[in-house]
Chain A
Amino acid sequence: MPSPALAAPLGAAAAAIEARHRADVRAGRWRQLGIVLLLLALSLASGWYSEFSAARLLEGLPGVADYIGRTLPVLRAESLGADLREWYWNLGEWLLLLVDTALIAYVGTVVGAGLALLLSFPASARHTPHPALAFAVRRVLETARSVPVLVFALIFVFAFGLGPLPGAMALAVHTMGALGKLYAEIHENAEAAPVEAVRAAGGSWAEQMRFGVLPQSMPGVVSYGLLRFEINVREASILGFVGAGGIGEELYTVVRRFEYADISALVLLILATVTLLDFACTRLRRRITGALSAA
């Protein structure tokens, strides 16, 4: 309990603090209102540009629901086996296409990661033989990861012809760009002592990288590589849209031909494959990185 002599200045101070707090709250409110209005204006402008509106959305949704409803297969309890067989009538060929899709992703990831690893040493600021080289390599990597995979695929399909080869190459180039940057960052964090030891023993630059840096970076390299493989499986499943192989080609065809039941069958197969490979990769990653960091 403050004494009466102190109460008056305290009261004044409290009033001042209270007033400032209220002013702050009011300013915050105005700012919030400004942001909300800005977002609203942007949304309206965007809606105008993309022919999108709440009315159109409500109008379109039944059509979407109807379309998705049509893709669902007829499954009856009394003839479940036969119905399932009819739904997945082309299962053998689809599974082969899925294996192709996974192989496209695998080849793309391995080749891309290999190139990324080679380029990551000159790209890393700490280990590069020359700063100008690091700058140049980094721009190459940047371009490779900024151009969408599908754009590379379109160009490569033109150069190499239809089929899974241009698809895998498109994935490889994009993977090189994405992983090259990450790998260079991992190398930055390597301890200096092992590298100096290799140099002191007369090791060349390549030997310093191979025996000084790489063993330290290996867990990260493998781990990011496996993560990229998961992403690439998803990408590989749509490469077929532009004729670059895999299950996407079949999906594209059945959607265009309105083979409704086939659409749901294929989408579920892709979903299952992606989930399964994600699961396997997570387990593998845990084991490998565990073993590598223990060693």
Chain B
Amino acid sequence: MTARLLSPPALWIGGTLLLLLGLWRLDASPLRLLEGLGKLGWLLVLMVPPSSGGALWELLEALLATLAMAFLGTVLAAIVSFPLAFLGAANVMPLRLLRLGLRRLWDGLRGIDTLIWALVFVAAVGLGPFAGVLAIAVPDIGALSKLFSEAIEAADRRQAEAVRAAGGTRLQTVRFGILPQVAPVLLSQVLYFFESNVRSASILGIVGAGGIGLALSDRLRLNNWDEVAFIVLLILAMVAVIDTASRAIRRRLA
């Protein structure tokens, strides 16, 4: 039965019907699309040439604040995740129940999008980059803890056993038997998350969590399209620079 439901023709027909249903719900009439595309073309014309609107320094400062949010959020997440990950790794933590509980908690934290956390934190601690840092850190604690504990579980057992056999305590086993093996992996994961957090941080301002996103949504509201284009280009340049730098560091770590 399921075999027939998943056969290629059935999937094609089902997929197409679903697409048609979606297009109907989306109200995607050809007229609306054509009108919108016309308006979009007009917007693109308004975007050229991009202009800083005389606020270059203000924008660069917002860019720095964005980087700062991403950096602190990543550092905070890494600091919290590091001990948590050991508690969730089967080869360190023998209590199954605690491990499973932690894992479900992490699933929940990272299942909720950064922007939803940002919305909640802005409501809880007020507008500004402080809420942004928390919004980046909390879902990342879920993701990094999971990745960290998987790396710890994949560590070679024999080195830990050697420390044990030499009379090492539990803590010494982790410190000298496991940590040296996993440290480069953890670091490169943290760097990778920093890259992705720079992207996330650049839009957090849209819900009021500071940084360049705030400047962007202001310009959009005022219909200053040349400045919108300028800010988008700034974000792209920042992301490209961070990606290149982080990739170079990660290659050296590996």
Contacts and interface: CB of A to CB of B under 8 A. Distances in A.
Partners in one complex: yes
Interface of A: 39, 42-43, 45-52, 56, 60, 63-64, 66-68, 100, 103-104, 106-107, 110, 143, 146-148, 150-151, 154-156, 158-161, 163-166, 168, 234-235, 237-238, 241-242, 245, 251-252, 255-256, 258, 263, 267, 270-271, 274-275, 284, 287-288, 291
A107 B26 contact: yes
Nearest to A46: B68
B239 A146 contact: yes
A284 B64 CA distance: 43
Contacts of B22: 103-104, 106-107, 110, 168
A154 to B, nearest CB: 5
Contacts of A271: 108, 111-112
Interface string B33-57: 1011101100100000000000000
Contact of B112 (A51, A154, A241, A270): A270
24 contacts: A45-B68, A47-B72, A48-B68, A50-B68, A50-B72, A50-B133, A50-B210, A52-B72, A52-B130, A56-B130, A60-B125, A104-B26, A107-B22, A143-B236, A148-B203, A154-B220, A156-B36, A159-B37, A160-B32, A161-B36, A168-B26, A241-B206, A284-B6, A288-B11
B115 interface: yes
Interface stretch (B116-124, B143-151, B165-173): B116-124
Contacts of A39: 75
B26 to A, nearest CB: 5
A158 B43 CA distance: 9
Nearest to A143: B236
A256 B124 CA distance: 11
Interface string B220-254: 10000000100010011001100000000000000
B119 A252 contact: yes
Contacts of B113: 234-235, 237-238
Contact of A46 (B72, B125, B203): B72
A64 B23 CA distance: 40
Nearest to A295: B8
A124 to B, nearest CB: 22
B85 interface: no
B214 interface: no
Contacts of B75: 39, 43, 46
Given A107-B26, A110-B19, A148-B203, 16 more contacts: A46-B67, A49-B65, A50-B210, A52-B129, A106-B22, A107-B19, A148-B199, A151-B203, A155-B220, A155-B228, A159-B37, A165-B28, A235-B113, A245-B26, A251-B119, A256-B123
